[in-house]
A and B are shown apart, each in its own frame.
Chain A
Amino acid sequence: MLLSACAPAGDSTADASSDAATTAARRPARISGHPNLNGVWQAMNTAYWNLEGGPAQAVPEFWRLGALFAVPPGPSVVEGGTIPYLPDALEQRNKNRAAWPANDPETKCYRAGIPRSTYMPYPFQIVQGDGDIMFIYEYATSNRTVRMTNHLDPKEVLVDQWLGWSNGRWEGETLVVEVFGQIRDTWLDRAGNHHNGMTVEERYTPMTENHIWYEATITDPKTFSRPWKIAMPLYRRMEPDAEVFEYKCVEFAEPLLYGELLKEPIK
């Protein structure tokens, strides 16, 4: 009977309690004294379209796709509503927006950077043990390692990376990650929001067993008049067998990237 499948954990039947015990062994509340953030997580909002939110709207270029592909409505995830751009940077943002989708790195299946990787419409998995913490993103099968020890000095980073370099530490119940050395080619969403060598302070605070409060403060004096912050919940994917699959999107971008150079060109 369907209802029995929905019985809460801790149900008095022997099977359910042994399941609960097994789950508890696999998902201890704490690891090495810190909150256990292991799991498959996903944002559920419209930040991947536009951090500043906005009404539902058509994407004229994709009219053939009808209601399949339009921008959903949603509120801003930016504290205070708007991003504090410097004038030149705002102009660049508007140019980026006008050049979407062609110039969006996501269109080309380029790694999304941080924080964009967090709120793309794909799940990601946190793998946390006693040492460094790995983030595995389904989009572009990308990953990063958050160093919990052997922190890097940002000045000593010789190579910028698409997902930057991450130093992590615990502040009470919050995992704080400092991200630096990010390549400047990443965007922050599909609305052309951008940076010129930002540093990001991420904060992951578990609120319940099944959701994390996520905050990211973005600092980049070349682009913004002051540091600014986004915030959103991240939800645990509750499917019992939730896992991150392969979204190897290179092959989806190749016709776009190389189409004109084929023997039979795609225009």
Chain B
Amino acid sequence: MHDSGNVRIHAVVWFAGIAVGASAAAQVPIVVATVPAEDTAAAVVDPNWKAPRTSWGHPNLEGVYSTDDMRGVPRDRPEDMGTREKLTPEEFAARAKSDADERDRVLNKASYSSNSVGSRTFGWTSQIIDPPNGRMPPLSAEGQARARPVKDRGSYGAGPFDTFEDFHLYDRCITRGILGSSFAVVYGNGVRIAQSPDNVVISYEMLADSRVIPLDERPHAQDSLKQYLGNSRGHWEGDTLVIETTNFNGKTSIGGNGIGVRHSNQLVLTERLRRVDPNMIEYRATVDDPLTYTAPWTVRMMWTTQPGYEIFEYSCHEANRAIAGGLGGERNYEARVREARAKGLPIPERLPSQPNLAPLPTDDSAFININREEHERR
């Protein structure tokens, strides 16, 4: 649904990422993992391993990570795996082969328009670790009623597109919510952590959503001050950063890209971040929202570094042609239906046609310029 304006941005970013990371011509050697990556974490290999410290003594979480390595781990565990948290050696070998094949396809065979891939294979059966069956608990009655929102038709629905509110918050470049920014999707899974003595920043790559999390034990903002990403307060429990977030405005949903069941504004999200390796942050988030789910549930991911990974400014709204394209296409279709009715002709099929799209700029001023020559001319 994102039209050429957006696709152009995405493609440019990915293309530049390759240029920064590795020579596009060289074949990237593909290694099939033999040990689950979680078993290689420094804190697992050496129980006495201590996370590095900041100059003021806090565990150091700073860095650029991504959830790309989680793309091979399903959010919900296949039912036949029961309460088993780890793959069997045979299951792991199959996942490692599948991950390696995907990396080979993306890094060595596919064109620039391909998706992101990670570099590790994890042996977890699911990202959800509680309830013990690794599956999202059933929705409450109210959650079920909210599960089919009237709005949010957007790129994941068939329309009709009467107003911008018929599009998802993601289409509108507004937000994907906290968990929606963490679940790995096809690209843009980067996340940056920055620290000061009294704050931690978590900044997500896609849509560039950021949270500044105070560590000074202040109370949450007043109840009436609701936000898309809520209002977060953090503290250290040993080496674990614990973040409790309330004050959600209840407009976001939980799922990849924030596509899923709308949670309530009573959600309390508790996240735990712990550095378990120079290149791995273990991330757990517990969703406690009795108005939506019949039980709290917890998801676990590993945020990992990726070689050469660079976060670019995800300036989505500035180049968003998807909303104008979708609305313009719908208005054009309505006009064609009216015309057909007036002439007694068959009602035309509703196809994705966008002649009313706001004209794209003809000069390069509105677009990111990736031409090195252009920079050198300056």
| A positions within 8 Å CB-CB of B | 25-28, 31-32, 38, 105, 108-111, 125, 127-134, 136, 140-145, 154-155, 157-163, 183-185, 197, 222, 240-241, 243-246, 248, 250-251, 254, 257-258, 261-264
Contact = CB atoms under 8 A, between A and B. Distances in A.
B378 interface: yes
Given A130-B54, A155-B375, A144 B218 contact: no
Given A248-B228, A250-B174, A261-B331, A142 B197 contact: no
Interface in B205-235: 208-210, 212, 214-216, 218-219, 221, 225, 227-229
Given A136-B210, A185-B365, A261 B16 contact: no
16 contacts: A25-B197, A28-B197, A125-B212, A127-B196, A130-B60, A134-B192, A143-B201, A158-B370, A159-B12, A159-B16, A162-B315, A184-B365, A245-B221, A246-B227, A250-B172, A261-B356
Given A28-B197, A158-B19, 16 more contacts: A111-B315, A130-B60, A136-B212, A141-B209, A145-B311, A155-B375, A159-B12, A159-B369, A185-B366, A222-B378, A241-B221, A251-B174, A254-B172, A257-B323, A258-B324, A263-B160
Interface of B: 12-13, 16, 19-20, 54-56, 60, 62, 160, 162-164, 172-175, 192, 194-199, 201, 203, 208-210, 212, 214-216, 218-219, 221, 225, 227-229, 311-313, 315, 317-318, 323-324, 327-328, 330-331, 334, 356, 365-366, 368-370, 372, 375-376, 378
Contacts of B216: 26
Contacts of A264: 162-163
B62 A254 contact: no
B335 to A, nearest CB: 12
Contacts of A32: 55
B208 A110 contact: no
A130 B58 CA distance: 11
| A-B interface, 6 closest residue pairs, ranked by CB to CB distance from nearest | A261-B327, A263-B162, A161-B313, A26-B198, A134-B194, A246-B227
B317 A130 contact: no
A162 B318 contact: yes
A157 B375 CA distance: 8
Contacts of B327: 258, 261-262
Contact of A254 (B56, B164, B196, B313): B164
Contacts of A258: 164, 323-324, 327
Contacts of B60: 130
B314 to A, nearest CB: 10
